[in-house]
Structure 1
Amino acid sequence: MDTAIKYSEDGSTRYVTNIESGEILHEHKKQEVWVQDGEQVYVHKPKKAKARKKTIHFIKLHRINWRGIIRNNLLTTPELALLTSLLAFLDWESNYIIDDETKQPFNESSLAKAIHCDRRNLHTLLKSLERKGFLLIEKQGRGKPNRFLLNPNIAVFGECVKDATEHDKFNDVEYRPKSPIKP
């Protein structure tokens, strides 16, 4: 079935409209082009840029800093294993450790379940990572769960960490990266 269309002009604009629905199917702009005999005019329609979806599932690991952590033996094997496990739970363009399903920051109990780790052992490792400057444990107050923030000089999920204050929270920590990331 063919669609019934009509053409209408308004100044230098021509509209191609669906008669039944009134929907504008095309809009054309009038252009003047001077050509010589034997010349032809070609119209190039640039493709519309596709909106970039937030489906990138790669973590940017700062290689120089990560290599420095390993070469200088800054972490024990269990601490390194935990730090590597936490990378899987980074928030998009933020370095909070979150639950992918609820999109809420992990507390210690839910994090222990997610990475299949004993809670007491996890607590000890988290405190050690915090003391060394690789992780920040944000205390929310009495009766509220803590939130965990990974040092952005190590890794980021997305283009960059959008909130510069997340960088600033690691200004006064023990860990000094070989190549600090600028917010």
Structure 2
Amino acid sequence: MFTLVNTFFTLANTMSGKVKLLGGDYLTTRRTKRVIMDETILPDGRIKREFTDEETGERVGSGTHGYRNTTRKPRELEQPPFVRVWMPNLLKLVKGKELKQGEKALLFDLLVFLDWQSTMLVHPEKGHAVTARDIASYLDLSVGFVSETLTCLHDKGIIGKFSAGKGRPHKYHLNCNLAFYGKNMNDMRDYERFNTDCAFSPSIVVQYKKEESGFRQIRRDITTNMLLKKR
């Protein structure tokens, strides 16, 4: 509920009377007062108006009227999960022309691989950490292009990569100062990875809290299956 306007106007004919003059004639008198109107939108969309005498502060009337159209989106019972993209840091990438066109395109595609409340890139349906080959297969792109572009994004601090051992394929993380899937961070080491000696210097450093609830155990493939069932 919030007040839209605070309006002054003159309310005429609020008080009237007759004064008898000599000779039997009557002179009609009329007094006016300035009134403050407060208009408030109620949660159900109706408009409530309250009228107050400007001079005395006395409340002289009130009423609720009709329905007002609103541009506010109604809350859904179940809101699908969504990825948050941090606008100041996105603008830095776009305006600074730090990425080539192919790198921008792949970066957008990588959003579908974000794990829940983590920076790790995982398979959208199976939930396991993805390699360059997995990403290329899912997006129907060449392994060479994906591998080369991921290396460029890594060198620019957009992507983090690690290997479980010599000869093992790299696994990938996406910089949480650009985009994040969820609210809190399951593992704060993901956060530290992109805020210590990172090639990308964000316009703002996004602050995350560590996830302490049992919600952290929800896997990406569970949320994906929830979406698939709704189709």
Residue 161 of structure 1 pairs with residue 204 of structure 2 = no
Question: In the alignment, what sits opposite 2:162?
Answer: 138
For 1:69 and 1:160, the matched residues in 2 are separated by 24
Matched residue SS, 1:88: helix
**Structure 1 gap segments, 5+ residues each:** 1-51
Does the CA-based 8 Å contact 1:152-1:161 persist in structure 2? no
For 1:107 and 1:174, the matched residues in 2 are separated by 22
Taking only aligned residues, the RMSD between alpha carbons, in angstroms, comes to 1.7
Alignment of 1:7-156 (within 5 A): 56-156=80-180
Does the CA-based 8 Å contact 1:134-1:151 persist in structure 2? yes
Q: 1:175 aligns with which of 186, 189, 200?
A: 200
For 1:161 and 1:83, the matched residues in 2 are separated by 21
Matched residue SS, 1:99: coil
Identity among equivalent pairs (%): 24
- The letter for the 1-side match of 2:162 is E
For normalisation by structure 2, the TM-score amounts to 0.54
Matched residue SS, 2:102: helix
Q: Give the aligned length.
A: 131
Stretch of structure 1 that moved more, 56-65 or 136-145 = 136-145
Question: In the alignment, what sits opposite 2:227?
Answer: none
- The letter for the 2-side match of 1:145 is P
For normalisation by structure 1, the TM-score amounts to 0.67
Provide runs of 4+ in structure 1 moved above 6 Å.
Answer: none
**Structure 2 gap segments, 5+ residues each:** 1-76, 209-231
Does the CA-based 8 Å contact 2:112-2:124 persist in structure 1? no
Q: Considering Cα pairs closer than 8 Å and 6+ residues apart, tell me whether 1 or 2 has the greater RCO.
A: 1
- The letter for the 1-side match of 2:179 is A
Does the CA-based 8 Å contact 1:109-1:119 persist in structure 2? yes
* Shift in alpha-carbon separation, 1:56–1:159, aligned structure 2, 3 A: farther
- The letter for the 2-side match of 1:109 is R
The structure number with the bigger radius of gyration is 2
- The letter for the 2-side match of 1:65 is N
Shift of 1:143: 4.1
Shift of 1:163: 1.5
Structure number having the greater strand percentage: 2
Kindly provide the CA deviation profile for residues 53-92 of structure 1, in whole angstroms up to 9, marking residues without a partner as x: 8x73310000111111101111011001111100111000
